[in-house]
Structure 1
Amino acid sequence: MGNLGGKIEHVVVLMMENRSFDSILGQLYPENPEFDGLTGNETNPNHGKDDVKVWNSGNIDQKSMSIPDPDPGELWNDINMQLFGLDGKPGSETPAMNGFVNNYVRQTADASGNYSPESIMHYYTPEQLPVISTLAKQFAVCDNWFASAPCQTWPNRFFLHCATAEGYENNSPARFPYLMETVFNRFSNPDAWKIYFHDFPQTLTLSRLWPHIDRFRLFETEFAKDAAAGKLPSYTFIEPRYFPDVKLPNDQHPPHHVGMGEDLIAEVYNALRSAPTWEKTLLVIVYDEHGGNYDHVPPPKAVPPDNSHSQPFGFDRYGVRVPAVLVSPYIKAGTILKTPVGSSFPFDHTSVIATLRKCFALGAPISHRDAVAPDLECVLNLDTPSNLGPDKVVPLPYAVSPDELVKALNAPLNDFQKAMHEAAAHLPIRGGINILDDIENHVENLVKGIMPEVPDHRTAVAAMPFISEKVRTFLGNVVK
């Protein structure tokens, strides 16, 4: 039934932001005992008060579609408390998953202090998120996919690209340059991959991708056009809009409106579905980490990727479960993907690397982690590409007022956005005849500790002109 190389010629990965499996897909199959979702009776203690039960707002207004608000804690210490309770001290025991509420109400980043204990236990229903829910039912949902580490966004995105986080537990403090080998570099033909982005691609933090600026493309002007022309490469990676600008973010990072992410997922699927290469395509929709949102399944032990960790954590545990949906005409409708028979480890972000290595003969594992990660061949459970899926998926007509955009533009940058702003400042400056010389000199300076100045921008409206200019200057004609 499998045979990745014989069935799939194009792998497309869309990585969204900061939602747990239960918060997005926990109610996908409420009556199916084979599906590890929510029963509706799950609770978390609220220190000195009544336990807080999982719940759903039942609405699609701006407030309901932006829960939780404010943004939950997602630092390594926050996640330890979420998993292991108030003292937040991981041990050899299985995580109790009983510290989500207590951690949320202890957050202080938002000046309002309005950290309602109920917010972190909220989940969405298929009726509120019809796009991702339809694709999960029409093709496959994996209820056993974990973030690669109990860490923030950058480490988990590094795992997706590099099979390691090089010991970095949080987004900040940044440690430029990031010199890790990437799966993109494994392709002998550099034309075999592209990265489509909206504002600032987080992949540009990886210095081994700097020589390949021609592989970066603007999503909104290039993706659908390339798909329609049958010009998507072997591997396509898509990054959402992380910042508000003329539009709201569509990454679904709390408290960003999840409906904007539904629009993005629909746009990606619809472009692929109508493409001439559809029957040879595998689309992976996955989230980087849980972002502090409740999930009831304890993460298991993991194989450390390497020995190069600079902090106490050995990267020997997975992070919290995240939503993962697999889409291809070779997948039977209603598939619930579990850990394959014979595998000792669940799916995590390095499963993408394992899949790419197997599909495109990219050689040996990058780290010990992707060496043991199950690949996605087992989800291709049809002999022929007979499940073409719906002609298109249509998101709900979510209404976002102009006032919300103004509010978002003037809101303080979240931790991830701050890190991306800092990353923009660390991009090479093109000044010489040979860009490769510019990059080499820039990396040497970073290694020596010669760092650029990072402007003190605290809101998106202040930061975006700087970020956009840095991207335009470095990528050149890619950004018009």
Structure 2
Amino acid sequence: MIGNDNVERQGPGALEFSMADIKHVVVLMLENRSFDALLGRLYANRADFDGLKGDESNEWDGRRFNVWTSEAMTPEAACLPNPDPNELFADMTEQIFGAGSQPPSPPTMAGFVSNYMRTATNDPRGVMHGFTPDQVPVISQLARSFGVCDRWHASAPNQTWPNRFFVHTGTAAGYVNNSPVRFPYLMPTIFNRLTQRQRSWRVYFHDVPLTATLSNILSELPERLYPFEDAFMSDAMAGRLPDYSFIEPRYFPSIVFNRMPNDQHPPHNVAYGERLIARCYDALRNSPGWEHTLFVVIYDEHGGVYDHVPPPEAVSPDDACPDGFRFDRYGVRVPAVLISPWIPAGSIVRPPAGSQYPFDHASILSTLRKLFDLGDPLTRRDAAAPDLLAALSLTSPSNSGPASLAFPTAAPSADEIASAHRAPPNDLQQAILQLASALPTGSAALATHLDLLDSAKEQLAVTQCATVGDVLLQVEKGFSRFLRTPRL
């Protein structure tokens, strides 16, 4: 059972596990992949695993399109689906309920192809594509070596910002899409709770910290932001990690640093995200704090990519409803892997028997509150969310896991990076552009939320950039003004 202080382990020789044994929670949140796409083929013959059978399909224009994988993991296959699927609230409604249907009709998961084909040049098979374990060996090996959650849903059928809000605040304040024009966002955050209870936290980022959307931590954020390359790896290896670490991937290509995005947002190459996951794991696994660590790899939302499990109903986090949606149903399943020496290898992690709800991003909040005594729930959603503590079911930290992971090491070519710079920006990158333009300059501009709001309204008249490279130039300027020192 789970109590306020201990999780009791059952069986011969069982010990009482204190929640104090977990001193570091590390969360890496990647982008826009469904559970079926990355992990649906993880186990072929396990009755307790809800994966793909191979006959799942969507119909469009009188034709049937089954789930499928590429024969070889070519660079082109690693970037599927290409182009990027649709991911606005209206798009996800069609994907989940089917073309022409919406609640209260039952979710059929029959509208992925029809929605994708609203752009006539798309290949209808694109959103039905997925990967075999051999093609994404890093996340697959970690899922098998520790635990995989096949009942983890995005917090809502919405795109990136609303779902990332849920992992930090337990609500999206009623906003269904990426909405820079509504900045600043005033929801209380788990970071505020950590500060109030004198718990340490840091956000490790690559190029852009999307946590800067949260106005209630803007005054602290410049002191809490650390570059992944310079700080996370060294902090982990030296045993200096805080109580809570949140890791943000790279969202843009970089000519200066010769790097491609590693967020796995379609059509970004999943191999670069695999490398990021492996580097995080290797640093944690070989750190002095390994036996006291819970590492969670999750994705914010499915990004329009097919999954076969209908999302269930959810608890509305609050009464906010400016866009007409009460956030009373979950989004599509997303990949979720739990990694800790306290987790048995091969675990299929699901909410405890009798739990009314699946895991969602608010489960992170529920877990942090209980582990670190952070007080009452932030919202009704994280009050209802099952926590992750029951997954830590070993009587000692005896699952050492792989000593290291092989991961892709090839550097992207200059042509690949240049091509990425010339590509049109996706919706998330355009939203980041507007956010960067609205950020205040240094701590002096953080006096009041009203000042922030006025600044945002004045600066949000941003010209839409035609290429990723143009967006990146403007984003770098905005974040360099905000941070104490430029870190992009």
Structure 2 length as normaliser, TM-score? 0.93
Show the counterpart of 2:415.
403
Task: Check the 8 A contact 2:180/2:435 in 1, yes or no.
Answer: no
CA distance in 2, matches of 1:451, 1:359: 42
Q: Which one-letter code corresponds to 1:83 in the other structure?
A: I
Identify the match of residue 80 of structure 1 among 62, 71, 93: 93
Q: Which one-letter code corresponds to 1:85 in the other structure?
A: G
Show the counterpart of 1:23.
37
Residues 248-267 of structure 1 deviation map (CA, whole Å, 9 limit, x = unaligned): 10000000000000010001
Cα separation, partners in 2 of 1:76 and 1:249, compared to 1, 3 Å = same
Residues 129-186 of structure 1 deviation map (CA, whole Å, 9 limit, x = unaligned): 0000000000000000000000010000000100000011001363011111010000
Show the counterpart of 1:192.
200
Matching of residue 45 in structure 1 with residue 52 in structure 2: no
Show the counterpart of 2:216.
208
Show the counterpart of 2:476.
468
Q: Which runs of 5+ in 2 are unaligned?
A: 1-6, 9-16
Q: CA deviation at 1:398?
A: 5.6
Show the counterpart of 1:110.
none
Cα separation, partners in 2 of 1:456 and 1:52, compared to 1, 3 Å = closer
Identify the match of residue 149 of structure 1 among 138, 141, 156: 156
Show the counterpart of 1:11.
25
Residues 267-305 of structure 1 deviation map (CA, whole Å, 9 limit, x = unaligned): 100110111000000000000000000000000000000
CA distance in 2, matches of 1:4, 1:248: 41
Residues 305-349 of structure 1 deviation map (CA, whole Å, 9 limit, x = unaligned): 000110111100000000000000000000001121121100000
SS at match of 1:141: strand
CA distance in 1, matches of 2:53, 2:308: 10
Task: Check the 8 A contact 2:85/2:303 in 1, yes or no.
Answer: yes
208-217 or 451-460: bigger deviation: 451-460
Equivalent residues in 2 for 1:375-414 (5 A)?
A: 375-397=387-409, 400-414=412-426
CA distance in 1, matches of 2:486, 2:389: 34
Q: Which one-letter code corresponds to 1:226 in the other structure?
A: D
CA distance in 1, matches of 2:299, 2:418: 27
Show the counterpart of 1:65.
78
Cα separation, partners in 2 of 1:463 and 1:190, compared to 1, 3 Å = farther
Q: CA deviation at 1:94?
A: 3.0
Identity %: 50
Task: Check the 8 A contact 1:147/1:318 in 2, yes or no.
Answer: yes
Show the counterpart of 2:171.
164
Residues 84-107 of structure 1 deviation map (CA, whole Å, 9 limit, x = unaligned): 11114221x430110111111113
Q: CA deviation at 1:30?
A: 1.1
Identify the match of residue 453 of structure 2 among 435, 446, 454: 446
Q: Which one-letter code corresponds to 2:96 in the other structure?
A: L
Show the counterpart of 1:182.
189
CA distance in 2, matches of 1:236, 1:370: 19
SS at match of 1:41: coil
Q: CA deviation at 1:399?
A: 6.8
Q: CA deviation at 1:400?
A: 4.0
Q: Which runs of 5+ in 1 are unaligned?
A: 108-112
SS at match of 1:314: coil
Cα separation, partners in 2 of 1:231 and 1:250, compared to 1, 3 Å = same
Task: Check the 8 A contact 2:298/2:337 in 1, yes or no.
Answer: yes
Q: CA deviation at 1:438?
A: 1.8
Q: CA deviation at 1:402?
A: 2.7
Q: Which one-letter code corresponds to 2:41 in the other structure?
A: Q
CA distance in 1, matches of 2:398, 2:411: 36
SS at match of 1:322: coil
Identify the match of residue 250 of structure 2 among 241, 244, 248: 241
CA distance in 1, matches of 2:486, 2:387: 33
Task: Check the 8 A contact 1:214/1:478 in 2, yes or no.
Answer: no
Task: Check the 8 A contact 2:439/2:456 in 1, yes or no.
Answer: no
Q: Which one-letter code corresponds to 1:24 in the other structure?
A: L
Q: CA deviation at 1:444?
A: 2.5
CA distance in 2, matches of 1:23, 1:399: 25
CA distance in 2, matches of 1:199, 1:421: 12
Task: Check the 8 A contact 1:412/1:458 in 2, yes or no.
Answer: yes
CA distance in 1, matches of 2:463, 2:447: 24
Cα separation, partners in 2 of 1:4 and 1:143, compared to 1, 3 Å = farther
CA distance in 1, matches of 2:81, 2:198: 40
Residues 16-64 of structure 1 deviation map (CA, whole Å, 9 limit, x = unaligned): 0000000000000011111000001111111x32210010002121100
CA distance in 2, matches of 1:445, 1:226: 33
Structure 1 length as normaliser, TM-score? 0.94
Cα separation, partners in 2 of 1:334 and 1:233, compared to 1, 3 Å = same
